[in-house]
Amino acid sequence: MSETTETIFSKIIRREIPAEIVYEDNLALAFKDVHPQAPVHILVIPKQPIAKLSDAESNDHALMGHLLLTAKRVADQAGLTKGYRLVINTGVDGGQTVDHLHLHILGGRSLTWPPG
């Protein structure tokens, strides 16, 4: 069993707080990040509240694949034809601040490497 958690993202899923939702299906939700770090900055989350990537288990493997393909779909929808970056901050050292697994889609400008 994956660890479950209640966060601000659970409230966004339940529409208890507003967010600019750009995609939704039965497993995933995508919405604009409130503190954008690039012209396009969208978060893709599972509706199932897995706290972080390191809590995902082998029986989550279809969901993990779905999230990745959802990110690709949302990036295409956002018109990121020149490329984009997916980021999954995980845990304290990874800089994760919301304990609900999320993929950042960053694009719309040339991104530098390495990240800080």
Question: Active-site residue 102, yes or no?
Answer: yes
What is the closest distance, in whole angstroms, from the C-beta atom of residue 97 to ligand DGP in the complex? 4
Four-CA torsion 52, 57, 63, 67, nearest 10 degrees: 40
69 binds ligand DGP (CB under 6 A): no
Q: Which two three-digit tokens encode residue 111?
A: 């991104």
| Helix H or strand E encompassing 87 | strand 84-87
The SS3 assignment for 46 reads strand
Q: Which two three-digit tokens encode residue 34?
A: 């409130």
What is the closest distance, in whole angstroms, from the C-beta atom of residue 91 to ligand DGP in the complex? 10
60 or 89: whose CB is closer to ligand DGP?
89
What is the closest distance, in whole angstroms, from the C-beta atom of residue 26 to ligand DGP in the complex? 21
Task: Report the half-sphere exposure of 19 (CA within 13 A, side-chain side).
Answer: 26
Residue selected from 4, 6, 8, 57 as contacting ligand DGP according to rule CB under 6 A: 8
Residues in region 27-46 near ligand DGP by CB under 6 A: 31-35, 43
Q: Which two three-digit tokens encode residue 59?
A: 């029986």
Q: Which residues bind ligand DGP (CB under 6 A)?
A: 8, 19, 31-35, 43, 89, 95-98
Tell me which residues are annotated as active site. 102
